[in-house]
Copies of this chain bind each other. A is one copy, B any other.
Amino acid sequence: MDNRVLQPVDDTTVRHRIAQQLTKHIVAGNFQPGQRLTEQELASSLQVSRGPLREAIRELAETGLLVSVPYKGLYVRSVTRRDLEELYSLRTTLERFAFERCWEKRSTDSLADLSQRNAELVRVIDAGNDGLQAIALELKLHAWCYELSDHRLLQRSWESMLPNLNLYFSLHQRAHGRSGPLRESHDRYVELAHGDSLDDMLEHLTEHMRQGLATTLTTLGSNLAS
């Protein structure tokens, strides 16, 4: 029942803690998109030295949350319409692939797991007071097919998309006032995942993504950069 949404964390290294802290701050909106960050500020505010901080910066730069330009500076990623379209289209491709890969691997246990994830998502949505948690649970629901696909490289790709998805959803929510994902938005998704037609699943998945992009674009609207 506990079910930590966050990945089991290595608290062991400072570098990793810094990376998590930075990710959290960016997603939570404590930094403005496009804002410039200086290492000295970060180091002193996070109470760490520049060494592990710079290593953590390299990791976040790989996922795209931070943009590092040699000798010029460090910037928080700014989200453009193009970024959203690219992420959604690539994610659609990868999630379709994940379902193709996991389709034959489905079992009663794993399907029960999927339903469980949806139930928890619905529960938190109904509670209605923790949008960030709802976002995390929605992503945890979508993670199901990647985990089941048993494809480590695909899993890595998903995990590299995760921070960006978290950021986009979080921006969406802050723009839209308070609203996480819709309550029934994944019922058919889960239902089709239980069913017999992979084609139906893929088609709905594609439409689900298209819909998500559309609402995100309209909601964010003028809040997008460049």
Instruction: List residues of chain A with CB under 8 Å of any chain B CB.
Output: 10, 12-13, 16, 51, 54-55, 58-59, 62, 64, 70-71, 82-83, 86-87, 89-90, 93-94, 97, 101, 151-154, 156-157
Given A12-B70, A51-B51, A58-B62, 19 further pairs, Cβ under 8 A:
A10-B70, A12-B71, A13-B71, A16-B70, A54-B55, A55-B55, A58-B58, A58-B59, A59-B62, A82-B152, A83-B153, A86-B151, A86-B153, A87-B153, A89-B97, A90-B97, A90-B157, A93-B94, A157-B157
Question: Interface SS of chain A: helix, strand, loop or mixed?
Answer: helix
Task: Tell me the smallest distance from the CB of A82 to a CB of chain B, in Å.
Answer: 8
Residues in B whose Cβ lies below 8 Å from that of A90: 97, 151, 153-154, 157
In angstroms, how far is the closest chain B Cβ from the Cβ of A144? 19
Copies of the protein in its oligomer: 2
Residues of chain B within 8 A of A83, CB atoms compared: 153
Given contacts A58-B58, A59-B62, A93-B93, contact A152 B70 (CB under 8 A): no
27 A-B residue pairs with Cβ-Cβ distance under 8 Å, sorted by A, are: A10-B70, A12-B70, A12-B71, A13-B70, A13-B71, A16-B70, A51-B51, A51-B54, A55-B55, A58-B59, A59-B62, A62-B62, A82-B152, A83-B153, A86-B151, A86-B153, A86-B154, A87-B153, A89-B101, A89-B151, A90-B97, A90-B151, A90-B154, A90-B157, A93-B93, A93-B94, A93-B97
Q: How far is the CB of A154 from chain B (nearest CB, A)?
A: 6
